[in-house]
Amino acid sequence: MRKIVLFSALALLLASCGGTRELSHNVNNHTTQVVLAKNNFKVVEHVKGEASNQYFLIVGGGKRALVEKARAKMLQNANLVGSSRAVINETVEIHSFFFWIGMQYTVTVSADVIEFTE
C-alpha cells in the first residue's frame, strides 16, 4: 500500500498539461502594400521561426517579445534581402506547456515566401 501511495504522489508531481492556440487576427503592421492581382509571382517556400521562454513561479519574460523574436528568425530564414521576394500569409501559433512550478511558452511564426517574376 505504501508503494501505491508513493507512486501516486510521484505521478501527481510529474503530471503536466499543454495547450495550443493560434492568433487568427491580423496585428501585423507592414508598411509595404503589394497587389497580387496578376499571375506575376510564384510561391518559393514556407518558412518558420520559433522562440520559447520558461516561467518559474510566474517569473519570466514577456510573450510579446517571443512573437518578435520568432518573427525575426522567420524573416532571417526567408532570405529577403537583395531579392524580389515578399512574405505573405503570416501565422502566429502559441503553445503553452504547464507543470507544477512553472510553464513554458513556445511561439512559432510561419509564412509563405513569394518571388516576383515581372
Q: Is the pLDDT of residue 92 over 80?
A: yes
pTM metric for this prediction: 0.69
pLDDT beyond 90 at 50:
yes
CB-side neighbour CA atoms (13 Å) of 57: 0
Q: In this model, does residue 83 exceed pLDDT 80?
A: yes
Q: What pLDDT sits at residue 55?
A: 81
Average pLDDT over residues 77-82: 88
Decide if 54 contacts 104 (C-beta within 8 A). Answer: yes
Would the pLDDT of 46 be above 90?
yes
- Burial class of residue 49 in the structure, from the number of CB atoms within 10 Å of its CB (0-12 exposed, 13-18 middle, 19+ buried): buried
Across the range 24-42, mean pLDDT stands at 67
The single-letter DSSP state of residue 59 is B
Cα separation of the two ends of the chain: 76
Of the pLDDT bands very low, low, confident and very high (cuts 50, 70, 90), residue 29 is low
| pLDDT for position 63 | 63
For residue 53, the model assigns a pLDDT of: 86
